[in-house]
Chain A
């Protein structure tokens, strides 16, 4: 493919840019994947125009059209990343995002055929260059789209992790740790660290771990709980596990998990009562409330 060095594609596109844009827009608007509900036609036209501009600029600077990771394609890549990301947020599917690039193929090929009529060998070469370039750009948008989605998921995961492990000071020397959601290794690590840190900060002697919000307890979760209890004990704080639902009690026994060394209570209130008693405190009802 020595011909690639002298590709006429940049020249042809820049010569007939407005025709190409019109054809391309027609193609995109007619396609079943056009999402008029998510994006206005004017916005799409602006993006398409911008894309062709960048394409001409990048392609004319560099005769070799093959390598879209070269620095001359920086602007193009940035542009594609930004529209992929915005489309990911707007609710486009990956296919609908990539079709933005792929729909350019037909108008571009038609145009190449018109321009290079009579030179079939040249036409075949140019078609190949155009296909490989557009494929690469299309795949790049899909990748960028995916990356945008992953960023969202990662951020949500992080937020969830931070939100889901509050350590509450219930009373002087008594901490509560209400756990909500499934416990996995990463979360248990965060839970354990924040609990131990809070024990150091407050000097609390008793910690109540409430698992009312934990949907299932399997051997792994039970092991994680026991690890947390042991670590707290090593630091000199006792743990009480509360909020064990009947089904969970059954599973724990069936699994053969030994919770014998841990104080377990069915509700947080029971656990709190025993914690108060251990701290030699009591709650009394006022005789004559004023």
Chain B
């Protein structure tokens, strides 16, 4: 069965969506990702959707869900590289993904994750796990 690969880079997980998402694939990704976060104790998830051309309300909601689930599992989610057309579609659908961090490209997304992690450590007063 088709799966979206999840790569581990240090404390972070990298997901690059390079095919058109359909509902089954999205559900599989959600399962795999939560599984991997728990297993690897990742502190951040970076989802690159720069190749994603078509979104619907389901995919939009799924992105929001993934972010919320990751936060429960103590990992920040950054969605990077959203295309203008996709952004307009999501806004028109009323899905402005309030809880999701966004960045223009992978590089900026990475620095955002690092920043978020540093902030969190300051707030919690905990160092490395």
Which residues on A are within 8 Å of B, measured CB to CB? 192-193, 196-197, 199-200, 203, 205, 227, 230-237
Q: Mark B72-110, 1 if CB is under 8 A from A, else 0.
A: 000000011111101110111000110000111100110
Distance (whole angstroms) from the CB of B92 to the closest CB of chain A? 7
Do A196 and B104 have beta carbons less than 8 Å apart?
no
CB-CB under 8 A from B92, the residues of chain A are 227
Do A230 and B91 have beta carbons less than 8 Å apart?
yes
Which residues on B are within 8 Å of A, measured CB to CB? 79-84, 86-88, 90-92, 96-97, 102-105, 108-109
CB-CB under 8 A from A203, the residues of chain B are 104-105
Number of A-B contacts (CB under 8 A): 53
CB-CB under 8 A from B97, the residues of chain A are 234
Do B96 and A233 have beta carbons less than 8 Å apart?
yes
Do A235 and B108 have beta carbons less than 8 Å apart?
no
Do B87 and A232 have beta carbons less than 8 Å apart?
yes
Known A192-B88, A196-B88, A197-B84: A234·B96 in contact at CB below 8 Å: yes
CA distance A232 to B102 in the complex (A): 10
CB-CB under 8 A from A205, the residues of chain B are 104, 108
- With a 10 A CB-CB cut-off, give which of B87, B97, B108 has the most chain A CB atoms: B87
Rank and list the top 5 A-B pairs by shortest CB-CB distance, nearest first.
A196-B84, A230-B96, A236-B103, A231-B87, A236-B102
Closest to A238 in B: B102
What are 9 pairs between A and B in contact, CB < 8 Å?
Answer: A199-B84, A231-B87, A231-B91, A234-B86, A234-B102, A235-B82, A236-B81, A236-B105, A236-B109
